[in-house]
Each structure stands twice: as structure tokens, then as C-alpha cells.
């Protein structure tokens, strides 16, 4: 029995979900769907078309009875509880999937594929897209050896209409979203699609939840005993599901040439720290890779790692409210070519989120429409471990190797939490080695922000012990260190640590480190007096050999990476 066409729910009705789930849009539905399906599975639309050329029985651009006879519905079909359900083809262009197809109450256990739709069409979801079954092994279930795969083809657009709408990949499931330079994949807000922007405000941070991938890698959020007994079940932040295991080579799939826009959330019901990020990698193993991503205007972190060993490469993060790259819980991965830029925004609509006041009570915080504010806390928020003690010591603190980074900060304090714009913060026994890094701050006249911050004495001790170091790197900031009057352990000065026996330099200014294009490293800079590390000594095929400091070279402006950064920054500047 095929029920295709039965679930033509009004987009105005679906927008009500936003009011209760983070989107903060309040509307009243004015049109009800009265379509029926007869015994021959033929849909009859009884709605009165009161709109113009792009209106049908529903709001949101559904053409309803205006569809041309014989048009084939290209939307994905799947079986739910023995019943075949298909997306609704709207405007002869878009596919709309209501909560009968996918939601936070429906887990997809079969392989599913979304192709690119012609003429700029988008796959639009009212609810969450949960791939694979979540399992907390303490309840008696078992994480399978293999799960379903979500495949998204080059050029496809996936749009989401709710703050609770996320893509969640369970342990053993996979996401294969590999676009191309010519046909990248887009993950975005439904408000980014003209026909679905029912209030006419356009897209904004926190419009949808983001992508969460749960892996079977190592995280120090589990005790050694729990991991040995197959009882490592860490609850994910934001919307609870479970991750963790004992395999840092685990494969949860790949995302390549993709844009992730307007996702994330502020603190949710759990209070501070209980957030949804644009891309959350929960104990994802090195079998997965994430390359050529542009993450824009998320309301929490751009990419957050909770353990695991996943690798990232060719990443641009622009105007994300909190941290661009957040490292925690024992991440052992690698990264190269990371460009981060903090910016500003004027809000298009009210945004509500839950925080705790000074007494620990939950209160609702509101950012009003029309607010001008800064976006960006830390370029890198780096934490070594969530838990400490001998019962957790099978997993070492985070210790990544990162090369070719540019972080451009502001002097602003971010719109959500009033925290400063910093290039990097070091906390919780973090370790790591950074090569060819360039941190930039041009101004600190108003808020007095600095580029680097040590929050934790263990992290500071790692700096002194050469477990946390920068090589061939440039600190091009008018203010370099917070708490600069307080030295590192053993009396070592911050400047001595950064200089690293002459391997890196401090300019005390922005200088001429950027080329005329405004983002690539200036090859003729008088201020960059250190030579780039060619990375050969790392003896690792992941790292490409380079001859420049920073994330981008302008030696070849036709290269895929140069073009990816240029286009990303142009888009961010317009938004």
C-alpha cells in the first residue's frame, strides 16, 4: 500500500516545531491540508489555491494541483512500519519530508541515498534524520558490527526546518557525503530556500541542529573497566544518543566538499555545555575523513571532537559563535589547512536559549532581532581530557598534530556569551604540536582581547615540558597573551615558550602577513622572518609538503584550496 502524497503537511504547521525547538518562530497556520488518498493510492487535493503562481494548497511554495500531469516524483521513498512513505514533490523542484518520513522518533535502519535535484531543488526535512539505531549497551542491546549508510550525492542540498532537526549517525552507521569542487553538497536551514522561508527573514544561526556522528573510538569519558566490558556509552551533548568504544581506527564515513550553514544551538535544557554544534565528531575513528568543508554561522562550535582520531583537512570556519575547532576528551587526530575568521552579524529574528544564572537556576536568554554582535570565541578551544584519575588513564589526553593554520580574530565579545575573540585557549592537560600557524589580531582598543589564553596549570606545564609547542609559527597580534604578567611554570615567560628557540616569532602587530587578497599569506612579507616547516620530518603521508606559513598560499590561485577559501570568505562577507 503506497501512501505517497498523503503526508502533505503544511509548511506553516511544520514551522510551529520551530517555536518549541530552538527556531523561535511563532506563526499561526491559515491553511489545512485536506487531501485524501483513495483505494487506488491516488491523491486528491481538496485545498483551495489562494496563492499566486508559486502557491498551492499548502504554504511554503507547494504547487499542489498546479503540477503538470505525468510529472514523476523524484523524492526518496522508504518503508516505515510496513508502509511506503515518499517525500512530497513541491514546486516541481523540491522534496519535502515531514515527520512521517524522518524524525527524532524514527530511526532509519536501511541504506538511504539522496541525489542532487535539478534546477536548484532541495531535500527539505521537518525533523531529524537519524541513521542507524542508537544503543546503550548497559540496557542489554548490542552495537552492530555494521549499520546503514546515508549517501548524499554531489550537488545535493539538504535543508532542515527545526532546531531539533539534526543528522545523527549512530555507532556502526556511516555517512558518505562526498561532493566535488564543482558540485559541493550543502547542509543548511530551510529558511535558506526561498520557497520555504515562510516568514521572509532568511536563514540564521541555530535554525537547525547540525550533524552529529557517533563513533566507536577511544574517549576518556569512559572508565577503563567500562570500555573493557563493552559498556562505554557516553551520552552525546544536545540530543542524547551514545558513543564510544575501543577502536580508534573506526570508520563512520566521509564528508568532502560540503557546506554546513546556520546550524548549532546555544545551551539547551541541560544548561551550559549542553549544545549542538555544526559538526560533532564523537569518538570518530581515523577511518573517517573530513575535507573541504565550509562551516558558517553556527551557534555553538564549528567542529567539536570528543576523543577518537578522525582527521580534518582544508577546513574554513566563518562567523561561528563559539569555538571554531573544539578539541576534547583525548582526540588523537591530525589536521592541515585550517582557515578561521571571526566576524559580525545582525540578527534577523529573536533567538531563545537556556542558560543557568548565578544561583544555578535555568533561565531563558534572548537575543533580539536586529541585534548587532560579534561571532567567535576561540579559533581553537583545546582540552586534553574530560575525566582524570587512574580509572580513565587508558586514554591519553588530547594530543593532535596540526599544520598550516590561519586564525583571524576580532576585538569583539561574542553575541551569545560575551566571551572574547581569541585565537586559541589551552586547558585540561592539553598537548599538541602546531606547525606553520599564523594567529592574527589587528585591534584590541575597545575590549582588550588577546590571542592566546592558558586556563589550566596542567596545560601550562605541558607547554614548559615541550608537549605543547608551536613550530615555524607567527603570532601577529597587537595583544598576545591573557594574564601576561603571570609566567608559565618554572618561571618561563610566554614569549620564550612561543619563540621555541627561534623556531617561531612574535610581531606584536598584524603587520604585513596577509597578501593583497586579504587572506593568503604574503610571500613578500617583511615581518615573516621564519621559514616554513616543510613537514617532511613528520614522516606522515597525511601532511602535504609546504613552503609557507599559514593556511593558504597564493602561489597558485587556481588550486582547489585557494578557490575554496576565497569563495567561502566572499560568501561570509555578504551574509
320: pLDDT confidence band, cut at 50, 70 and 90? very high
347 near 370, Cβ under 8 Å?
yes
Rounded average pLDDT over 560-573: 97
Distance of CA 141 to the CA centre of its chain: 29
Provide the grid cell at 262.
Answer: 546556520
Q: Which of 379, 374, 369, 368 is nearest to 424 (CA)?
A: 379
Provide the grid cell at 84.
Answer: 511506503
494: pLDDT confidence band, cut at 50, 70 and 90? very high
506: pLDDT confidence band, cut at 50, 70 and 90? very high
Residue owning grid cell 593583497: 516
Q: 161-189: per-residue pLDDT in tens?
A: 988 899 999 999 999 999 999 999 999 99
d(CA 453, CA 425): 5
How high is the pLDDT of residue 36?
30
272: pLDDT confidence band, cut at 50, 70 and 90? low
Give yes or no for residue 198 having a pLDDT over 60: yes
User: Which residues pair with residue 373 across a beta bridge?
Assistant: 345
SS3 494: helix
Give yes or no for residue 23 having a pLDDT over 50: no
Rounded average pLDDT over 443-449: 92
Pairing status of strand 362-367 against strand 372-375 = unpaired
Percent of the chain with pLDDT over 90: 80
Terminal Cα-to-Cα distance of the chain (whole angstroms): 46
Rounded average pLDDT over 410-416: 93
Q: Which of 364, 341, 363, 342 is nearest to 351 (CA)?
A: 364
364: pLDDT confidence band, cut at 50, 70 and 90? confident
Give yes or no for residue 371 having a pLDDT over 50: yes
Give yes or no for residue 27 having a pLDDT over 70: no
134 near 107, Cβ under 8 Å?
yes
Give yes or no for residue 423 having a pLDDT over 60: yes
How high is the pLDDT of residue 269?
57
Average pLDDT value over all residues in the chain: 87
Rounded average pLDDT over 497-502: 94
Distance of CA 72 to the CA centre of its chain: 35
How high is the pLDDT of residue 70?
63
Distance of CA 152 to the CA centre of its chain: 17
4 near 151, Cβ under 8 Å?
no
Give yes or no for residue 485 having a pLDDT over 80: no
Taking residue 526's Cβ as centre, other Cβ atoms within 10 Å add up to: 9
d(CA 79, CA 353): 35
Lowest mean pLDDT among 106-110, 246-250, 348-352, 463-467: 348-352
**Better-predicted residue by pLDDT, 64 or 88:** 88
Pairing status of strand 378-383 against strand 325-328 = parallel
d(CA 316, CA 567): 10
How high is the pLDDT of residue 419?
93
Residue owning grid cell 555544526: 278
User: Which residues pair with residue 88 across a beta bridge?
Assistant: 96
Q: Where are the beta strands (DSSP E) in 455-539?
A: 468-471, 474-477, 505-506
How high is the pLDDT of residue 240?
85
How high is the pLDDT of residue 110?
97
Burial of residue 370 (CB within 10 Å: 0-12, 13-18, 19+) is: exposed
**Better-predicted residue by pLDDT, 220 or 34:** 220
SS3 226: helix
- What residues have CB less than 8 Å from 148, skipping those under 6 apart? 108, 109, 110, 111, 112, 131, 132, 173, 174
**Better-predicted residue by pLDDT, 28 or 422:** 422
Pairing status of strand 372-375 against strand 343-346 = antiparallel
Give yes or no for residue 50 having a pLDDT over 50: no
Provide the grid cell at 183.
Answer: 558540485
156 near 175, Cβ under 8 Å?
no
Provide the grid cell at 556.
Answer: 597558485
518: pLDDT confidence band, cut at 50, 70 and 90? very high
268: pLDDT confidence band, cut at 50, 70 and 90? low
Provide the grid cell at 321.
Answer: 559563535
Provide the grid cell at 329.
Answer: 576528551
Lowest mean pLDDT among 55-59, 121-125, 407-411: 55-59
Provide the grid cell at 431.
Answer: 598537548
Give yes or no for residue 236 having a pLDDT over 80: yes
Amino acid at each position: 500500500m503506497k501512501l505517497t502524497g498523503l503526508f502533505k503537511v503544511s509548511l506553516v504547521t511544520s514551522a510551529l516545531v520551530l517555536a518549541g525547538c530552538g527556531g523561535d518562530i511563532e506563526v499561526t497556520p491559515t491553511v489545512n491540508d485536506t487531501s485524501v488518498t483513495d483505494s487506488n493510492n491516488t491523491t486528491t487535493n481538496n485545498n483551495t489555491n489562494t496563492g499566486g503562481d508559486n502557491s498551492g494548497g499548502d504554504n511554503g511554495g507547494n504547487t499542489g494541483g498546479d503540477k503538470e500531469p505525468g510529472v514523476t516524483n523524484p523524492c526518496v521513498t522508504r518503508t516505515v512500519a510496513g508502509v511506503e512513505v515518499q517525500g512530497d514533490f513541491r514546486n516541481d523542484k523540491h522534496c519535502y519530508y515531514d515527520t512521517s518520513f524522518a524524525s527524532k522518533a524514527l530511526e532509519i535502519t536501511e541504506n538511504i541515498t539522496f541525489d542532487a535535484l535539478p534546477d536548484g531543488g532541495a531535500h527539505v526535512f521537518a525533523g531529524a534524520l537519524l541513521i542507524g539505531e542508537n544503543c546503550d549497551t548497559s540496557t542489554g542491546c548490542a552495537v552492530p558490527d555494521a549499520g546503514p549508510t546515508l549517501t548524499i550525492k554531489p550537488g545535493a542540498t539538504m535543508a532542515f526546518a527545526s532546531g531539533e532537526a539534526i543528522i545523527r549517525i549512530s555507532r556502526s552507521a556511516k555517512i558518505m557525503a562526498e561532493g566535488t569542487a564543482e558540485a559541493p553538497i550543502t547542509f543548511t536551514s530551510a529558511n535558506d530556500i526561498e520557497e520555504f522561508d515562510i516568514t521572509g527573514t532568511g536563514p540564521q544561526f541555530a535554525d537547525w541542529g547540525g550533524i552529529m556522528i557517533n563513533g566507536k573510538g577511544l574517549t576518556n569519558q569512559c572508565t577503563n573497566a567500562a570500555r573493557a566490558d563493552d559498556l562505554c556509552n557516553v551520552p552525546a551533548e544536545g540530543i542524547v544518543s551514545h558513543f564510544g568504544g575501543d577502536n580508534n581506527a573506526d570508520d563512520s564515513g566521509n564528508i568532502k566538499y560540503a557546506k554546513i550553514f546556520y546550524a548549532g544551538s546555544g545551551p539547551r535544557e541541560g544548561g551550559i555545555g549542553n549544545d549542538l554544534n555544526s559538526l560533532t565528531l564523537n569518538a570518530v575513528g581515523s577511518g573517517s575523513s573530513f575535507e573541504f568543508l565550509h562551516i558558517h554561522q553556527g551557534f555553538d562550535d564549528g567542529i567539536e571532537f570528543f576523543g577518537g582520531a578522525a582527521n580534518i583537512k582544508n577546513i574554513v570556519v566563518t562567523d561561528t559563535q563559539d569555538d571554531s575547532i573544539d578539541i576534547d576528551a583525548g582526540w588523537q587526530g591530525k589536521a592541515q589547512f585550517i582557515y578561521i575568521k571571526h566576524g559580525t552579524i545582525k540578527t534577523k529574528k529573536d533567538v531563545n536559549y537556556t542558560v543557568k544564572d548565578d544561583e544555578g537556576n535555568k533561565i531563558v536568554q534572548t537575543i533580539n532581532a536586529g541585534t548587532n554582535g560579534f561571532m567567535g570565541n576561540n579559533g581553537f578551544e583545546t582540552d586534553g581530557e574530560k575525566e582524570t584519575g587512574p580509572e580513565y588513564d587508558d586514554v591519553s589526553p588530547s594530543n593532535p598534530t596540526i599544520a598550516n593554520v590561519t586564525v583571524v580574530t576580532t576585538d569583539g565579545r561574542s553575541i551569545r556569551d560575551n566571551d572574547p575573540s581569541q585565537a586559541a585557549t589551552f586547558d585540561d592537560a592539553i598537548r599538541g604540536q602546531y606547525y606553520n600557524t599564523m594567529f592574527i589580531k589587528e585591534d584590541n582598543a575597545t575590549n582588550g582581547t588577546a590571542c592566546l589564553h592558558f586556563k589550566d596549570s596542567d596545560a601550562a606545564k605541558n607547554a614548559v615540558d615541550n608537549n605543547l609547542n608551536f613550530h615555524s609559527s607567527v603570532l601577529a597580534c597587537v595583544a598576545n597573551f591573557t594574564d601576561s604578567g603571570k609566567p608559565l611554570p618554572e618561571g618561563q615567560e610566554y614569549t620564550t615558550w612561543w619563540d621555541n628557540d627561534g623556531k617561531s616569532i612574535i610581531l606584536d602587530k598584524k603587520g604585513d602577513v596577509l597578501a593583497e587578497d586579504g587572506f593568503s599569506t604574503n610571500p613578500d612579507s617583511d615581518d615573516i622572518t621564519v621559514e616554513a616547516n616543510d613537514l617532511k620530518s613528520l614522516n606522515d603521508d597525511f601532511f602535504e609538503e609546504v613552503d609557507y606559513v599559514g593556511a593558504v598560499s597564493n602561489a597558485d590561485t587556481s588550486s582547489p584550496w585557494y578557490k575554496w577559501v576565497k569563495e567561502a570568505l566572499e560568501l561570509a562577507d555578504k551574509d
